[in-house]
Chain A
Amino acid sequence: MSAGGSSRTTSAGRLSVLVGALSVPAFVGVWELIARSRIVNAVLFPPPSTVAVAVLDWIHSGQFFGDLSASLFRVTAGFLIGTAGGIMLGVLTGRFRLVSSLLSPLFHILRPIPPIAFVPIVILWFGLSEAGKLFLVVWGVFFTVWLATHIGVQKVDRGLIRAAQMLGTPRRQMLTEIILLGALPYIVVGLRTAVSISFYTLVAAELAGAFAGIVYRIEIAQQNMQTGQVMGGLAALGLLSFIADRSFAAIAERAVWWR
Chain B
Amino acid sequence: MVALMQTPLRPTPPLRLVDAPPQPSSAAQEAIIRVDDLSIVFDVPRGEVIAVDRVSLAVLPGEFVSLVGPSGCGKSTLLNAMAGLERPFEGEVKVAGEPMVAPRPDIGMVFQQPHLFPWKSVRRNIAHGPRALGKSKTEALRIADDLIDMIGLTRFANAYPHTLSGGMQQRVAIARALANQPRVLLMDEPFGALDAQTRAVMQDNLLELRDRINATIVFVTHDIDEAILLSDRVLIMSAGPGRILRDLSVALPRPRSSAILTDPAYLALKRDCLDLIRTEGRKAFEQMEAAT
Contact B115 A167 (CB under 8 A): no
- Nearest Cβ on chain B to A227's Cβ, whole angstroms: 52
Contact B107 A166 (CB under 8 A): yes
Contact A168 B118 (CB under 8 A): no
Contact A166 B83 (CB under 8 A): yes
- Nearest Cβ on chain A to B174's Cβ, whole angstroms: 12
Contact A259 B117 (CB under 8 A): no
Task: Give the complex CA separation of A168 and B102 in angstroms.
Answer: 10
Contact B117 A165 (CB under 8 A): no
Known: A159-B113, A159-B115, A181-B119. A167 touches B128 (CB 8 A): yes
Task: Give the complex CA separation of A178 and B116 in angstroms.
Answer: 11
Contact B115 A162 (CB under 8 A): yes
Contact A167 B160 (CB under 8 A): no
In the complex, what residues of B have CB within 8 A of residue A257's CB?
119
In the complex, what residues of B have CB within 8 A of residue A166's CB?
83, 85, 103, 105, 107-109, 177
Chain B contact patch, size range: 20 to 34
Known: A181-B119, A258-B119, A258-B160. A167 touches B132 (CB 8 A): yes
Q: Is the interface of B mostly helix, strand, loop or mixed?
A: loop
- Nearest Cβ on chain A to B165's Cβ, whole angstroms: 17
Question: Does B176 sit within 8 A of A, measured CB to CB?
Answer: yes
Task: Give the complex CA separation of A163 and B102 in angstroms.
Answer: 13
Which residues of B come within 8 Å of A, CB atoms? 83, 85, 102-105, 107-109, 111, 113, 115-120, 128-129, 132-133, 160-162, 173, 176-177, 179-180
Which residues of A come within 8 Å of B, CB atoms? 157, 159-160, 162-170, 173, 178, 181, 184, 257-259
Q: Kindly list the 10 A-B residue pairs having the minimum CB-CB distance in the complex, ordered from nearest.
A: A168-B105, A167-B129, A159-B115, A163-B115, A166-B109, A165-B103, A258-B119, A168-B132, A169-B132, A181-B119
Given contact pairs A163-B116, A164-B128, enumerate 9 new A-B contacts (beta carbons under 8 Å): A157-B115, A162-B115, A163-B109, A163-B117, A163-B176, A167-B132, A178-B117, A258-B118, A258-B162
